[in-house]
């Protein structure tokens, strides 16, 4: 367990790890609003959720996703508030990790993400499932179905960059010493063994 917790203060949010404030607080963030994109008024909903050692933004037609997909984004909460959110609000920079064609798939995935020692198993490889959002040359592993996102001492951005430069085989090597005590982890790597 990472000890990372999300707190709401007024209309804003901040994080603590083991009781100590970490990252950059958001003074104001609207989680449900009407968002006008081109000429359409779209009801937008989102949620912030701590999973493992990471903060995820679960989005539903937000300015982060200019498509009909629902998505889960990794927030770089240690950084500055750089991205425009809604009206005068700004949020942390973030990257999409998973896209889903329906809201039910999104909610199920957000609730059922497997975690281990602060790491998150992503049931879809972000380099593949979000390739329209990324330069796919940035991802070394473009063949695996899913990937592990491991905590990094330098924060969530460093964890994300590490994932881009490694493969599922690297994930297997990292988790293999834990298989005896946690056999459920082996199921993810069935194709590799």
CA distance 133 to 173: 29
| pLDDT on residue 193 | 57
Counting as low any pLDDT under 50, the low residues of the chain are: 1, 38, 62-65
In this prediction, residue 75 carries a pLDDT of 95
Three-state DSSP at 161 gives: helix
Q: Which two tokens stand for residue 71?
A: 């998505």
Give the chain's end-to-end CA distance (angstroms, integer).
28
Q: What is the pLDDT of residue 188?
A: 87
CA distance 142 to 68: 23
Token look-up 């367990």 returns: 1
* Per-residue pLDDT tens over the stretch 42-59: 566 788 999 999 999 988
CA distance 61 to 45: 7
Query: Residue 115 and residue 101: Cα distance in Å, rounded?
Result: 23
Its pTM stands at: 0.86
Identify the pLDDT of residue 43.
65
Q: What pLDDT shows up at residue 150? A: 97
Residue 90 sits at the vertex; the CA angle it makes with 26 and 86, to the nearest 5 degrees, is 115
Per-residue pLDDT at 112: 84
- Residue 2 has a pLDDT of 66
* Cα separation, 83 vs 29, whole angstroms: 12
């Amino acid at each position: 367990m990472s000890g990372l917790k999300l707190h709401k203060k007024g209309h804003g949010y901040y994080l603590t790890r083991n009781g100590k404030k970490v990252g950059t607080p958001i003074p104001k963030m609207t989680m449900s609003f009407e968002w006008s994109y081109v000429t359409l008024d779209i009801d937008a909903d989102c949620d912030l959720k701590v999973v493992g050692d990471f903060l995820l933004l679960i989005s539903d037609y937000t300015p982060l996703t200019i498509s009909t997909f629902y998505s889960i984004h990794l927030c770089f909460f240690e950084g500055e508030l750089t991205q425009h959110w809604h009206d005068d609000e700004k949020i942390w920079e973030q990257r999409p990790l998973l896209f889903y064609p329906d809201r039910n798939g999104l909610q199920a995935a957000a609730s059922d993400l497997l975690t281990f020692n602060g790491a998150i198993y992503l049931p879809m490889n972000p380099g593949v499932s979000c390739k329209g959002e990324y330069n796919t040359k940035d991802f070394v592993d473009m063949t695996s179905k899913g990937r592990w996102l491991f905590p990094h001492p330098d924060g969530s951005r460093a964890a994300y960059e590490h994932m881009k430069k490694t493969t599922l085989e690297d994930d297997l090597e990292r988790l293999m010493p834990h298989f005896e005590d946690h056999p459920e982890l082996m199921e993810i790597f069935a194709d590799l063994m």
